[in-house]
A = this chain, B = another copy of it.
Amino acid sequence: MIVENVKSQMRKGLLEYCVLLLLRREASYASDIIADLKKASLIVVEGTLYPLLTRLKNEGLLGYEWRESTQGPPRKYYCLTEKGETFLSDLEMAWEQISDSINQLRNNQ
Contact = CB atoms under 8 A, between A and B. Distances in A.
A contact residues, range: 35 or more
Copies of the polypeptide in the assembly: 2
Contacts of A51: none
Contact of A18 (B17, B24, B59, B105): B105
Contacts of A99: 99, 102
A21 B101 contact: no
Interface in A79-108: 87, 90-92, 94-95, 97-102, 104-106, 108
Interface in A31-90: 40-42, 59, 61, 87, 90
A64 to B, nearest CB: 17
Given A40-B104, A102-B18, A109-B25, A6 B1 contact: no
